[in-house]
């Protein structure tokens, strides 16, 4: 099975793919649209891209390409803990207190802001294009006294030693990745337990405040729980929005079709992006 | 007046600051938490960071720091068009058809996906830590036949020539920046016309579907329009959320306080992040 993922090698997306699909042929792509296009053109079976709380790319790009461009379906969701570690080249293990510079992706540096501000106050920070790129640089420059922030896969791939574990500011830190496929399918993984979810994109007729309230009524009186609701600009005019809605339920025969019919009768456009299992990947 | 902004020099945030505060002393910072901290410690008067649809940093970091960490207030909002251009070193102006590589931030490469796929199919793409870093590299390597994607300020600062204008895929492409201040103030700019907005962060008591519906009722029956609603994980447990809500109205004496009282009576926690003017910056 071929899977395109948001690279480079040893990125957080790579880590999630390795955990969920240990036997697949995983192919890194440079950007999220590149991943999505590989799935549309069926160069791969699935594409795995970050959807929420990502470090290595904007979720908005994922959401917007799914709404505007791509006729792809979510086949599964992978929720993965994001754990940031400080690593050094083995030849520098005795200089951990005197690092000249610490390298990482700007989002990872931001996520470890408090740790850096206390334990490494004054140490120079340098941005790299990804956490994996920081680890790669260290492996190629053992003569420099550097640290890198990234995940355990990057430490393993590039032969580095983790010297401070879990240095991210918020203990609760997850990224949701979606597994995209050309046709609507539900991908079942042997991994751990799962919950059921359905993702909809809803465009309201006009007056947002009232119409959104009506849309939520369609879910509320059926006791359908929403785990996410987010407005996104339609990109046609300032102030026009569509809504991304995650319902904590499988597509059934009565409740969800009923809610969708009701929203359509109110003048909304509803696009079903997928009905799938959501897996929580282990540490 | 001192302003900390998300750098580097010639970033899209820098461009917005230059347009809105032409006479200020603008100080680049490496990360969004760095900018926020400069405002908290009053090392600067204001901090300007991206809030939505950003290229150069995750909005989630801004939202989460405002909710969890920072007691700052939004003093104004700047909405700026994001225009991506292809630029080259003047010595390469005759080689525009035969560029060896095109450099930019991964989000900018993603935003120009269609242009690159048609006009520069097969040309190598290389990631940089920012669009400004790509322009800087070109200015220092005139002997290499390279292109960079970035904004007009980067072209000006680094002495490059724009050879393809407005190459981003979606014509409608804006970034919202917020101007943060230690105390609740409303910053009035001479620039263009403005609209009034109030930003709230609301934590629901428990059952999301029903409670969110009630929260929206408080706005709907008062005809208070929402321009944005977004759920964000509370970071305490999977499935706990708070809501970021933008109301298209100034804080008044009756309607908004009434809605807030009603939400609090329902068991919600409401944090007012600011009541401010929103400015649309020109091209």
pLDDT tens track for B85-118: 999 999 999 999 999 999 999 889 988 988 999 9
H/E element, B258: helix B255-265
Q: Name the residue in chain A with its Cα closest to that of B104.
A: A129
- Does the beta-carbon distance from B61 to A213 stay under 8 Å? no
Closest-CA distance, B172 to chain A, in angstroms, reads 5
Residue A241 has pLDDT above 70, yes or no: yes
Residue A50 has pLDDT above 60, yes or no: yes
Least Cα distance to B3 among B21, B190, B163, A134 occurs for: B21
- Does the beta-carbon distance from A106 to B213 stay under 8 Å? no
Q: Using a CB-CB distance cutoff of 8 angstroms, which residues of chain B are in contact with residue A134?
A: none
Q: Say what percent of chain A tops pLDDT 70.
A: 94
- Does the beta-carbon distance from B106 to A54 stay under 8 Å? no
Residue A231 touches partner B, C-beta closer than 8 Å: yes
Looking at residue A237, its pLDDT comes to 59
Looking at residue B47, its pLDDT comes to 97
Q: Which residues of B182-213 are buried (b: 16+ CB within 10 A; e: fewer)?
A: beeebbeeebeebbebbbbbbbbeeebbbbbb
Residue A225 contacts residue A260 (beta carbons within 8 Å): no
Q: Which letter does DSSP use for residue B225 in this model?
A: P
pLDDT tens digits along A246-276: 999 999 889 999 999 999 998 899 999 999 9
Pairing, β A46-52 against β A241-247 = unpaired
Count of residues making up chain A: 283
Looking at residue A238, its pLDDT comes to 54
Give the separation between CA B138 and CA B146, rounded to whole angstroms. Answer: 7
Residue B73 touches partner A, C-beta closer than 8 Å: no
What backbone torsions phi and psi does residue B207 show, to the nearest 5 degrees? -50, 110
Give the separation between CA A72 and CA B143, rounded to whole angstroms. Answer: 43
Residue A124 touches partner B, C-beta closer than 8 Å: no
Residue B232 contacts residue B244 (beta carbons within 8 Å): yes
pLDDT tens digits along A204-233: 876 555 778 888 889 988 988 888 888 877
A123 Cα distance to chain centroid: 30
- A239 or B52: which leads in pLDDT: B52
> Could you say which residues from 158 to 197 on chain B have a Cβ atom under 8 Å away from some Cβ of chain A?
170-174
Give the separation between CA B72 and CA B178, rounded to whole angstroms. Answer: 11
Q: pLDDT tier at A67 (50, 70, 90 boundaries)?
A: confident
Q: Name the residue in chain A with its Cα closest to that of B80.
A: A238
* Of the partner residues A60, A129, A230, the one whose CB lies closest to the CB of residue B231: A230
Q: What mean pLDDT is predicted for residues A233-243?
A: 70
Looking at residue B239, its pLDDT comes to 59
Looking at residue B283, its pLDDT comes to 65
Looking at residue A129, its pLDDT comes to 86
**Average pLDDT of every residue of chain A:** 90
User: Please, what is the end-to-end C-alpha distance for chain A in angstroms?
Assistant: 24
Residues of chain B with pLDDT under 50: none
**Average pLDDT of every residue of chain B:** 90
Looking at residue B236, its pLDDT comes to 64
Contacts (Cβ under 8 Å, ≥6 apart) of B91: B142
Give the separation between CA B217 and CA B262, rounded to whole angstroms. Answer: 10
Looking at residue B54, its pLDDT comes to 67
Mutate one of B41, B104, B110, B207 to test the A interface: name it (highest A CB count within 10 A): B110
**A14's tokens:** 């790579």
Q: Sketch out chain A's domains with CATH numbers.
A: 2-82+173-181 (3.40.190.10), 85-164 (3.40.190.10), 194-280 (3.30.70.260)
* Of the partner residues A58, A231, A236, the one whose CB lies closest to the CB of residue B172: A236
> Could you say which residues from 237 to 276 on chain B have a Cβ atom under 8 Å away from some Cβ of chain A?
237-239, 241
From its phi and psi, is residue B233 left (phi > 0), alpha (psi between -120 and 50) or beta? beta
Q: pLDDT tier at A54 (50, 70, 90 boundaries)?
A: low
pLDDT tens digits along A102-126: 999 988 998 898 899 999 998 999 9
Give the separation between CA A161 and CA A146, rounded to whole angstroms. Answer: 12
- Which residue is listed with tokens 């029903």? B210
Looking at residue B172, its pLDDT comes to 73
Residue A42 contacts residue A67 (beta carbons within 8 Å): no
- Does the beta-carbon distance from A235 to B173 stay under 8 Å? yes
Residue A4 has pLDDT above 80, yes or no: yes
- Does the beta-carbon distance from A225 to B237 stay under 8 Å? no
Long-range contacts of A258-265 (CB under 8 A, 24+ apart): A258/A222, A259/A218, A259/A219, A259/A222, A259/A224, A260/A200, A262/A218, A263/A202, A263/A215, A263/A218
CA distances (Å), origin B20, targets A86, B43, B182? 39, 20, 19
């Amino acid at each position: 099975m071929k899977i395109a993922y948001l690279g480079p090698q040893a990125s957080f997306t790579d880590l999630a793919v390795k955990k969920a699909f240990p036997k697949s042929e995983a192919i890194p792509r440079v950007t999220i649209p590149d991943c999505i296009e590989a799935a549309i053109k069926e160069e791969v079976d699935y594409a795995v891209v970050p959807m929420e709380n990502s470090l290595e790319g904007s979720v908005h790009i994922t959401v917007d390409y799914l709404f505007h461009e791509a006729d792809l379906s979510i086949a599964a969701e992978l929720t993965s803990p994001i754990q940031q570690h400080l690593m050094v080249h083995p030849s520098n293990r005795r200089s951990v207190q005197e690092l000249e510079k610490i390298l990482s992706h700007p989002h990872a540096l931001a996520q470890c802001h408090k740790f850096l501000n206390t334990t490494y106050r004054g140490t120079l920070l340098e941005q790299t294009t990804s956490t994996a790129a920081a680890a790669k640089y260290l492996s190629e420059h053992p003569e420099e006294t550097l640290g890198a922030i990234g995940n355990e896969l990057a430490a393993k791939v590039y032969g580095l030693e983790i010297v401070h574990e879990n240095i991210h500011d918020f203990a609760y830190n997850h990224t949701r990745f979606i597994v995209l496929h050309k046709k609507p399918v539900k991908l079942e993984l042997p991994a751990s337990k799962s919950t059921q979810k359905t993702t909809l994109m809803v465009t309201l007729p006009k007056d947002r405040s009232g119409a959104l309230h009506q849309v939520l009524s369609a879910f509320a009186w059926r006791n359908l729980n929403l785990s996410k609701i987010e407005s996104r600009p339609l990109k046609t005019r300032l102030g026009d929005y569509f809504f991304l809605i995650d319902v904590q339920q499988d597509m059934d025969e009565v409740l969800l079709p009923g809610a969708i019919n009701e929203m359509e009768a109110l003048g909304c456009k509803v696009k079903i992006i997928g009905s799938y299992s959501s897996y929580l990947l282990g540490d």
